[in-house]
Chain A
Amino acid sequence: MGLNISLAPEVLFHIGSWPITNTFFWFFWLWLFLLIGSIIFSRRIKLIPGKFQNFIEMAVSGAYDFTESIIGPGEKAKKVFPLVATLFFFILIANLLVYIPGQSAITLETVGGVVPLFRAIAADYGFIFMITISMVILFQVIAIITTGPFAYITKFINLKSPLKAFLGIMDLIGEIAKIVSLSFRLFGNIFAGEVLSAVMLFLAPFFVPLPFMFLGLLTAVVQAFVFSVLTLVFISMASEISPEEASV
């Protein structure tokens, strides 16, 4: 088979002893682009919006309304919205970058062989794992702030009765499972999309891959949405005191 698929991202070059992979390369440029773009955009906001500003305002206010519909209106939604919306737009743009035509033809000759310059950013498990683990730590911090440190610990370690001790262990496993489920979902979908389109291109180069590309486009949007909505749901779960926990 002439297919060239690897689970780990390809190393392009080294800065000192630090390997620069192709996903990191694109991540860096996307990050820089979004940072500078948003700084420039925020200085040019006008009272009477132009076409572009109108589009951005529509997208942001739609996202804000959706956030309010899940976590409830008020201070909480205002606090959590920047994080969740950033996650959504970043992952969405990162996924959609794959659909720039012609990018997969560009390769680079390195010490380890010829590697593609481009790779979907979310097809790098390291990137997704870091995002997920920081989000899961955030859920714990929010839970500690809302319930207090003592109630937070007794949620997991509770020796009042065997049943409560068992449930505490299950809760602990549930928190760890969040890392696995959140990160594997995004990684699996995007990487599987990459592999699927590569296999289809290999089997039949013309027209046959198109429906699969369309499916990948759908996945790219839906998975960005799902990742940010699940983050939002977990945050709203952590920031609410359930009556059961309040009595403990």
Chain B
Amino acid sequence: MEIEAAKYLAAGIAIGLGAIGPGIGEGIAASKALEAIGRNPEASGKITPLMFVSMAITESTAIYALVISLIILFG
């Protein structure tokens, strides 16, 4: 395999596999937060920012994969 082809393949695999876990995790976080808001709508002002923070933390592994694949592609 040529090095260029291997680069593109590696970048695709890196972000593709790296996005699975955070995708599931963010879905769980969002569903739980919406459930909580549905039960107690007055608390939505407190829940929403916390949900964003925890989603961003969950997302970070996907971002690592993304940074790695961007480095592979453009670095």
Contact = CB atoms under 8 A, between A and B. Distances in A.
B67 interface: yes
Contacts of B67: 184, 187-188, 191
B70 A185 contact: no
B70 A195 contact: yes
A185 B46 CA distance: 23
Interface in A148-185: 181, 184-185
A184 B52 contact: no
Give the interface residue-count category, chain A.
Answer: 20 to 34
Give the interface residue-count category, chain B.
Answer: 10 to 19
Given A5-B74, A188-B67, A181 B49 contact: no
A33 interface: no
- Main secondary structure on chain A at its contact with chain B? helix
Given A5-B74, A7-B70, A185 B60 contact: yes
A46 to B, nearest CB: 30
A72 B52 CA distance: 20
Nearest to B63: A188
B60 A192 contact: no
A5 B75 CA distance: 10
**Most chain A beta-carbon neighbours within 10 Å: one of B49, B53, B56, B71:** B56
B64 A7 contact: no
Given A66-B49, A222-B52, A226-B53, A181 B60 contact: yes
Interface string A213-248: 000000000110110011001000000000000000
A6 interface: yes
B53 A229 contact: yes
B66 interface: yes
A147 interface: no
Contacts of A66: 49
9 contacts: A6-B74, A184-B60, A184-B63, A185-B60, A187-B67, A188-B67, A191-B67, A195-B70, A226-B56
Interface of A: 5-7, 66, 69, 181, 184-185, 187-189, 191-192, 195, 222-223, 225-226, 229-230, 233
Closest 3 CB pairs of A and B: A188-B63, A226-B56, A188-B67
